[in-house]
Amino acid sequence: MERTYNIATIPGDGTGPEVVREGRKVLEAAAAKYGFRLNFEEFDFGGERYLRTGEVLPDSAPEELRKFDSIYLGAIGHPDVKPGILEKGILLRLRFELDQYINLRPVKLYPGVATPLKDKGPEHIDYVVVRENTGDVYTGSGGVNMKGSPHEVAMQIMVYNRTQVDRCLRYAFEYTRKRNKRKTLALCGKTNVLTYVFDLWERAFHEMGQAEYPDIKREYYHVDATCMWMVKNPEWFDVIVTTNMFGDIITDLGAITQGGMGIAAGGNINPHGVSMFEPIGGSAPKYTGMNIINPLAAIACGGMMLEHLGETEAATAVENAIMDVTAHRLKDLAAGKMGYSTSEVGDLVAERV
């Protein structure tokens, strides 16, 4: 029987639906070529639905989505909705409830893509950030007291338990081994200030590394220094593992070094459950419906989804097709400057697959 995967799509807001359309086009081409089937089912979660119905996410959504093999997401965020509501109510809620405890974010400069890093090329910028995706200040622990008074207190607490740390580290060690490049895993933290949390991370990191991954070289960088080296010597990095908030910040820095939001892709991964793949960029409302936004990030995360589903050959084909397009076709990655429309870029990649 033909291999079949059921994919839930959440096109979402702004330019999300446009880029998801192109991603699907490429995924269908890969499925036809490599002999598997994709059944897509669409969910209308996002700002439009919220404004129309007053409901951010139906309570049944996580259960329903759990039945799929994967989730393919465009973008969440609407200019008429106060910041935080959709992000927390949809994106973060799904990450948490589906226990997608890894946020995998490759930082790879494709050929032909301009980087703001002087004298650096594709041979220098090729590493992966494993961002922990369930803990840290994202748990919502904390609160406000005496609001509105001069004594107002606001607390948002960095929270980690050993289980969260260990499962993230294990994924990172395994990933580094499987990647089989420089076999180096760097822990990015702040042991000089956040002495409780990073004492836990550092101990767990070395204990696990020493006992179970002697073939993987371990390095440690403070987060501030990590930012410096990501700019000055990105070739030092192979795999970086870090906490949720630091991972959020350094992957935007990483994204800009690989050409920006038009290209940066990521996966919210539950190694034992359902994962969700999304471009790192937002909904870019000002470009909505203009057919000028760059769909490559969405296409690239479609490739990551295929890899995750075990369709390795198809995933490689998608990445090679993207690289061919960046190397030989696109003038620029920015919306409106590519030399092609959104749908034409989708066609170019699909043809090459």
Smallest distance from the beta carbon of 182 to ligand IPM, in angstroms?
25
Give yes or no: 232 in active site: no
Smallest distance from the beta carbon of 299 to ligand IPM, in angstroms?
18
Beta-strand (E) ranges in 98-166?
A: 102-108, 126-132, 142-145, 153-156
Which is closer to ligand IPM, CB of 276 or CB of 314?
276
User: Taking CB positions, which residue lies at the least distance from Mn ion?
Assistant: 248
Per CB under 6 A, the list member of 90, 92, 185, 250 interacting with ligand IPM is 92
Per CB under 6 A, the list member of 28, 69, 87, 174 interacting with ligand IPM is 87
Q: What is the 3-state secondary structure (H, E, C) of 169-233?
A: HHHHHHHHHHHCCCCEEEEEECCCCCHHHHHHHHHHHHHHHHHHCCCCEEEEEEHHHHHHHHHHC
Residue range at the interface with ligand IPM (CB under 6 A); choices 39-47, 51-59, 85-93, 334-342 = 85-93
The single-letter code of the amino acid at 202 is E
Binding residues for Mn ion (CB under 5 A): 248
Smallest distance from the beta carbon of 33 to ligand IPM, in angstroms?
31
Give yes or no: 138 in active site: yes
Which of the following is catalytic: 199, 224, 232, 331? 224
How many CB atoms sit inside 10 A of residue 311's CB?
A: 23
Residue range at the interface with ligand IPM (CB under 6 A); choices 86-94, 162-170, 217-225, 306-314 = 86-94
Q: What is the 3-state secondary structure (H, E, C) of 230-243?
A: HHHCHHHCCEEEEC
Contact partner at residue 92 from Mn ion, ligand IPM, none, CB < 5 to 8 Å by partner kind: ligand IPM
Which is closer to ligand IPM, CB of 298 or CB of 323?
298
Q: Structure tokens of 320? A: 């090679």
Considering only residues 265 to 304 of the shown chain, the ones binding ligand IPM according to CB under 6 A are 280
Residue range at the interface with ligand IPM (CB under 6 A); choices 87-95, 185-193, 206-214, 325-333 = 87-95
Closest CA to 76 of 48, 40, 103: 48
- At residue 6, the 3 state secondary structure works out as strand
Contact partner at residue 91 from ligand IPM, Mn ion, none, CB < 5 to 8 Å by partner kind: ligand IPM
Give strand pairing partners of 217.
184
For position 248 contacting ligand IPM by CB under 6 A, the verdict is yes
Helices (H), the chain: 16-34, 47-53, 61-65, 85-86, 93-97, 162-179, 195-212, 223-232, 244-257, 296-309, 312-328, 342-352
Smallest distance from the beta carbon of 122 to ligand IPM, in angstroms?
24
Give yes or no: 332 in active site: no
Smallest distance from the beta carbon of 107 to Mn ion, in angstroms?
13
What is the DSSP secondary structure assignment for residue 90, as one 8-state letter?
A: I
Q: Structure tokens of 265? A: 């892709």
Which of the following is catalytic: 50, 101, 110, 138? 138
Residue range at the interface with ligand IPM (CB under 6 A); choices 84-92, 143-151, 194-202, 328-336 = 84-92
Give yes or no: 248 in active site: yes
- At residue 106, the 3 state secondary structure works out as strand
Please, are residues 135 and 246 in contact by the beta-carbon 8 Å criterion? Answer: no
Give yes or no: 252 in active site: yes
The whole-angstrom distance between residue 147's C-alpha and the CA centroid of its chain comes to 35
Binding residues for ligand IPM, rule: CB under 6 A, are 87, 91-92, 248, 280
Instruction: Cite the active site residues.
Output: 138, 190, 224, 248, 252
